[in-house]
Amino acid sequence: MEGIGVCKMVKTVRPIFRKLFKTVNDPVLILNTSCQIESINDFAAQLLNIDPASRQELQLDELSKARWNDFVSKIQNELGGFCNLNVKIGENRYKEIRLIGYFHKEKNLVFARIALMTEKRSLLNQKSNLDIYSMFNDISHGIILSDKNGYILDANDMALEYFQCGKNHLINKQHEMIFEKLEDYEYSKLQYFANLLNTGRASVHVSGMNKHGEEIFLKLDSKFNYKMNMIVTTMTDETEIMLLKQQVEQQETLDSIGQMAASIAHEIRNPLTSLKGFLELIKINSSGDNLNYLNVMDSELQRMDEILNEILYLSKPKQVHYEEISVFQIVQDVVELMIPFALQNNIMLKIDSYNYYHLNIKGNHTRLKQMLINLVKNAIEVMVEGGTITIKLETNNDEIDVLVIDEGPGLTDREIDQLFTPFYTTKPTGTGLGLPLVKKVIEEHHGSINIESSVGVGTTFKISLPICDKKVICTEKEKLIDVWIKKESLDRLPVV
């Protein structure tokens, strides 16, 4: 009903009410179902700090509005009743009153008397209400209050931040609206409402997006408060817990790999070495198709050896030697090494450096080189129709950024979330170990990796590593090295 909770002062002109009010010593008033005052005597007007001639509005807080609605519904079917209301009587001042009254069906009006309270209790209640409401908004958890019929009465500031909306978007809406911007498993949602209905309490885990576009995980706990006659729902941010849980699960997977690695190395590597040796002997006396078949076998054995090396690298911590190295030199080495593979797939490689100097980092040349090879190799494999792969160097405060930009099919947000999970792959022939290896190398060097991708456009892997030192070795305004690799122009390979 429009206008509920706002009581407008209307000076009555009905003689019967005017005469009645003069003879009553108690504070009494008459209201319509929208809580608008039709008549009020002087005692009640003074108690509520109202000037009858000013047509001042009488305001209720959010909780009192809900109580008024319940009160009206109740007395329409019963002989009478009462309700407690918090009435605003001044700036930041509220008075708690109790209305005792009955409903006149013919006139559709509520005839009520105000039950008096001592001044001391009234002052204490005012301060208590303000303190409680201030605390309500300062709590670090989201809180939602709903009435027994499932309509939202109020929400604190943290809950509004989770929902990214104003209070008017939630108030008087159904309790189930809290799931509007949150994702859950349908079974969990149905079970939540079933538990709330049957036991008076329920909980559910949901996820959503914050204002920065980052995924957050929330736990909703709801309990019916019989004293307050309402549902209290708390929202707890479990994002950090979920991220830690994912890291633990990944670490457990890596630990399992570690336990298997020693056995794999013993059971596979030795016979693998023997097979490769005998294969080389057979190739000496082979030709034609037989030699081609043997070359395929040799290639597959080499692939098995690479997979084994990746598993061992992920599972076994090793002492690594760190020294001052040039990131630009690593990029050059990787481009030269990947030229043949790029040619076979009609790929153009481009090194793009907008720095006036080379930047050094503290790291291990071999591991960083292997990490970058993996990224470039992945980019080549996903670009089935050819195109350009750009490796760009940028600086950001005390870090150097290495960007590997491809023109492949791109990745969805869900695929990006899973990329560094061991054995997860988006390629039909992938092992799912290359990117976990990339992440481990970057973490060993105290760096970070971020991924940006657009489906149908391409993907950018951005690696940030802390700078060790800056040495100016180029004085040109800009140094741009392009390596264009094409099948038909092998003789144009650049000298870098």
**pLDDT tier, 5 (very low <50, low <70, confident <90, very high otherwise):** very low
Alpha-carbon gap, residue 440 to 433, rounded angstroms: 11
Residue 407's nearest CA partner among 455, 370, 462, 336 is 455
The first and second tokens of residue 318, run together, are 């090793």
pLDDT digits (tens, 9 = 90+) for 94-130: 788 888 888 888 888 888 888 765 544 544 455 555 5
What angle do the packed helices 365-382 and 327-344 form, to 10 degrees? 30
Whether 160 shows a pLDDT value over 90: the answer reads: no
**pLDDT tier, 450 (very low <50, low <70, confident <90, very high otherwise):** very high
Most confident by average pLDDT, 2-11, 248-257, 267-276, 485-494:
267-276
The first and second tokens of residue 219, run together, are 């736990």
Q: How do beta strands 387-396 and 448-454 pair?
A: unpaired
**pLDDT tier, 289 (very low <50, low <70, confident <90, very high otherwise):** confident
Whether 404 shows a pLDDT value over 90: the answer reads: yes
Whether 184 shows a pLDDT value over 70: the answer reads: no
DSSP 67-128: HHHHHHHHHTSSS-EEEEEEEEEETTEEEEEEEEEEEETTTTEEEEEEEP--HHHHHHHHHH
Q: How many Cβ atoms are within 10 Å of 243's Cβ, its own excluded?
A: 12
**In this predicted structure, what is the pLDDT of residue 475?**
34
User: Comparing 6-127 with 139-237, is the CATH topology the same?
Assistant: yes
Residue 89's nearest CA partner among 171, 3, 7, 1 is 7
Whether 272 contacts 301, CB under 8 Å: yes
**In this predicted structure, what is the pLDDT of residue 271?**
80
Determine the longest span between alpha carbons in the chain, in angstroms: 125
294-299-301-302 Cα dihedral, nearest 10 degrees = 140
Question: What residues contact residue 345 under an 8 Å CB cut-off, 6+ apart?
Answer: 380, 381, 383, 384, 386
- DSSP 8-state assignment for residue 268: I
**In this predicted structure, what is the pLDDT of residue 411?**
87
279 residue type, one letter? L
Alpha-carbon gap, residue 263 to 269, rounded angstroms: 10
Alpha-carbon gap, residue 388 to 408, rounded angstroms: 9
What's the average model confidence in pLDDT over 5-10? 40
Whether 175 contacts 152, CB under 8 Å: yes
What's the average model confidence in pLDDT over 139-149? 85
pLDDT digits (tens, 9 = 90+) for 45-90: 888 887 766 556 667 888 888 888 888 888 888 778 888 888 888 7
Regarding predicted confidence, which is higher, 16 or 240? 240
Give every strand in the sheet of 323-326, ordered side by side.
323-326, 358-363, 469-471
pLDDT digits (tens, 9 = 90+) for 318-329: 667 888 988 888
| CATH architecture under which domain 139-237 falls | 2-Layer Sandwich (3.30)
User: In the chain, what percentage of residues exceed pLDDT 90?
Assistant: 5
**Would you say the pTM of this structure is higher than 0.75?**
no
**Token pair 């006659």 in the structure block, residue:** 229
Alpha-carbon gap, residue 207 to 368, rounded angstroms: 36
Regarding predicted confidence, which is higher, 261 or 243? 243
pLDDT digits (tens, 9 = 90+) for 216-259: 888 889 998 887 788 899 998 988 888 888 878 777 776 676 66
Number of H helices, E strands in the chain: 13, 20
E strand or H helix that includes residue 38: strand 37-40
Whether 12 contacts 28, CB under 8 Å: no
DSSP 429-475: T--S-HHHHHHHHHHHTT-EEEEEEETTTEEEEEEEEE--EEE----
Alpha-carbon gap, residue 21 to 39, rounded angstroms: 9
Question: What residues contact residue 386 under an 8 Å CB cut-off, 6+ apart?
Answer: 345, 346, 347, 348
How far is residue 332 CA from its own chain's centroid? 38
Give 105-108 contacts, CB < 8 A, sequence gap 24+. Answer: 105/76, 108/32, 108/33
User: In the chain, what percentage of residues exceed pLDDT 70?
Assistant: 76
Alpha-carbon gap, residue 46 to 43, rounded angstroms: 5
pLDDT digits (tens, 9 = 90+) for 470-486: 544 333 333 333 433 33
Task: Give CATH for domain 323-492.
Answer: 3.30.565.10
Task: Give CATH for domain 6-127.
Answer: 3.30.450.20
**In this predicted structure, what is the pLDDT of residue 462?**
93
Whether 402 contacts 372, CB under 8 Å: yes
Cα dihedral sign for 109, 115, 119, 123? negative
Show me where the domains of the chain are located: 6-127, 139-237, 244-315, 323-492
**In this predicted structure, what is the pLDDT of residue 12?**
43
